[in-house]
Amino acid sequence: MVEHDVEQEKVEILNRYRGLLRVSKGTREEGDGRIIRKAFELAVEAHKDMRRKWGEPYIYHPIAVARIAAEEVGLGTTSIVCALLHDVVEDTDYTLEYIEKEFGAKVANIIDGLTKISGYFDQSSSPQAENFRRMLLTLSDDVRVILIKLCDRLHNMRTLEHMSAKGQLKIASETKYMYAPLAHRLGLYAIKTELEDLSLKYTEPEVYTEIKTKLKATKEQRNRYIRSFIKPIKMELEQLGLDIEIKGRSKSIFSILQKMRKQNVEFEQVYDLFAIRIIADSQGDREKLDCWNIYSLVTSIYRPNPDRLRDWISSPRSNGYESLHTTVMGPKGKWVEVQIRTIRMDEIAEKGYAAHWRYKQGNDSDSGLDQWLGKIREILENPEDSAIEFLDDFKLTLYNEEIFVFTPKGDIRKLPTLATALDFAFDIHTEVGSKCIGAKVNGKLVPLSHQLKRGDQIEIITSAKQKPTKDWLEYVVTGKAKTKIKQVLKEEKRRKAADGKEILGRKFRNWKLALNTENMRILCLYFGIMSEQDFYVLVADDKMPKASLTYKQIIAKHKDKKELKKGERPVAPAKKMGDLIIGEDDQLELDYSFAKCCSPIPGDDVVGFITVGDGIKIHRTNCKNAERLMSNYGYRIIKARWAGFPLINHSFSAALEVTGIDGVGLVSKVTDIISKELEVNMKSVSFKATDGTFVGNLVLEIDSTEHLDELIANIRSIGDHIKVIRTDLEKS
């Protein structure tokens, strides 16, 4: 049994509480100290016998969450109190009524939103997704619920090393899939960046460690370069009499990896590993002018890339973010990103929603952040979407970059990149979207699916006879448009199903059959139709399924059979190769198969996922599908790891994309390395040359990641301009 020094822990709890008081000093008003002390004492009492899995007192956690809320988000006393008490109602005998009596209705409402959802959920749905949806419903009341929840998630990620491997993977995937994008949209860039990096640490630990090590090794070199880059700018700005601060910072590990994968380059080839931030002490009407003056000075010293200017001062992002971004050519031919902003803008950029609200002047109800929250409430208002559908639609509103477009009267609207004319129509109003038959963009007639560009002016053309169709879901990218189209389609489907049921009911009466659930189950299974409602819709559309037997014969024949699926092929047990261990027990033998979306090979970090009707599927942990599954269906994750490799007499398929400058005999060199030097079997090969460059797609049979890495290194050795990346097998 582990011994705990209780007296020492009491001292540590008090020290942590005093630290919380220090960082919250700037936001506290008279009397707030007593309220925070009261909440702290209640939390200590409520959690006095509770410890975290690794043994430390549980009270450390709510104190840490409250400190993050105060120090890193800039929230005030009410939020600090709620953070201290956020687990009290869920984990102890204290009730919400008691909290309301002691601390008031506002605190009780926020804690109610923070309390985790308990009870059972439909196993076809997702507890995580449902929990997230219910939490977001509190946006209608108080956005502090979401902000405190993000603080809670950040502290859990900071202490994730104490969790089991399965728990780490589930929580990290969920964080990357939903919480980091949510922090991004709420303007909490520092928290968003840390959540992404910590997620990567547990989903792709080797990649994370490699980039972190390389960043550390090149730190002094980068610092020297930043100092030399800043020096002439600082001298010029001081001569202008501007009070400024200049910071240089490395890009996050996650963002560097994204660049490496997007640009298909190695770490050493990522040119913008850091950014320079110039922060001016400027206020009121001087803010915009001073920022543009700084921009003018910087671009007179270093040549700017005209395609990389981003003006979020004239048109702030929906989360309130304001800044000028430019990329300039620095010394030694290196591109450097420069961000220019004021102290106010910088605080909003770092602390997001909370800082935005503190700086709001008067009745700024039309701010981008208010508009975005309004759109989220619209998505939340549709109670019929499944939790997973909701999450998919909601996620569309999080990470997308924005474009600014105009109505015929010149009003500005913000939409995500890739938004279409139909998205714009639904953004104006649901009725306008539902009746849209086309649009005029800059005076020219365009179809519903036309993608909008920054600065377009759009006029929507409507017709009273128009109705949304299923194809429309392919034309839109905004959560609002998708949600509204689905609502209309579901209502139309219900109406059709009611008509179809009435038609089928008459037929059943003629056949002397009962139109009941059991008989419809048999018919749906026999014809491979998903649900009774789908069957009724087919009847309404005069597409009633045909069969050699009569419906009466089908029902009579299969009346007593419990399992029946048309054309179902039995799932053969996956071949036991002794190479993969599923679950915690090394001796346990479970059937599994490899997911085609990412095609794992020995050496990949993998995870098992229990499917419905198709056994255990093995995914790579960095697979996009696996990330979504682990986030939404964490309870169906099962641990998986390779027992050892390479394997004897067994090979796996892997896909590679080879690109470079075309040359005589190049294809022959690539294929010789693969088939002759390394004796690798090629399942498919295709090369295409265009304007002096080539792209080759290969599907190969290999036995491990070690084998694959050797092959990639050998192909790259052909020439300086050859690039090789592993791709998804499905895309090859």
* Helix/strand/coil for 342: strand
162 token code pair? 């104490």
Token pair, residue 438, equals 């086309």
Taking Cα atoms as reference points, which of 419, 223, 229 lies closest to residue 329? 229
Q: What are the counts of helices (DSSP H) followed by strands (DSSP E) for the chain?
A: 29, 21
Catalytic residue among 41, 90, 243, 589: 90
State whether residue 143 is helix, strand or coil: coil
Residues 639, 583 contacting (CB under 8 angstroms): yes
Contact (Cβ atoms closer than 8 angstroms) between residue 450 and residue 420: yes
Residue 667 CB neighbours (<10 A) = 16
C-alpha dihedral, 362 to 368 to 372 to 374, nearest 10°: 40
Burial of 577-597, coded b for 16+ CB within 10 Å and e otherwise, reads eebbbbbeeeeeebebbbbeb
Rounded to whole angstroms, how far apart are CA atoms 135 and 86? Answer: 13
Q: Which CA distances in Å does 216 have to 210, 213, 250, 521? A: 10, 5, 10, 62
Cis? peptide before 408, omega within 30° of 0: no
Q: Is 471 a catalytic residue?
A: no
User: Tokens 């048309």, residue?
Assistant: 566
**Cα→Cα distances 699→526, 685, 723, Å:** 38, 7, 16
User: Which structure tokens are listed for 524?
Assistant: 């749906």
Residue pointed to by tokens 């880059």: 229
90 counts as catalytic: yes
The residue among 482, 452, 458 whose CA lies nearest residue 470 is 482
DSSP element (H, E) containing 412: strand 412-416
State how far Cα 417 lies from the chain centre.
Answer: 17
Give the closest residue to 490 by CA, choosing from 383, 397, 392, 394: 383
Q: Is 362 helix (H, G, I), strand (E, B) or coil?
A: coil
Nearest to 94 by CA among 119, 76, 111: 111
Cα distances from 167 to residues 50, 178, 291, 488, 534, in angstroms, run 20, 17, 46, 40, 39
Neighbour count for residue 337 (Cβ, 10 Å): 19
d(CA 708, CA 656): 9
- Which ranges of 274-367 would DSSP assign to H, the alpha helix? 286-301, 343-351, 353-359
Place of tokens 């909701």: 390
Of these residues, 56, 91, 392, 662, which one is catalytic? 91
Cβ atoms 393, 479 nearer than 8 A? yes
- Provide the H-helix boundaries in 466-593: 479-510, 517-527, 532-540, 551-557
The DSSP code sequence of 75-115 is --HHHHHHHHTTTHHHHSS--HHHHHHHH-HHHHHHHHHHS
Alpha helices by DSSP H, listed for 104-179, are 105-114, 127-136, 144-158, 165-174
Distance CA 453, CA 415 (A): 10
Distance between CA 586 and CA 441 in Å, rounded?
A: 63
Q: Which residues are catalytic?
A: 90-91
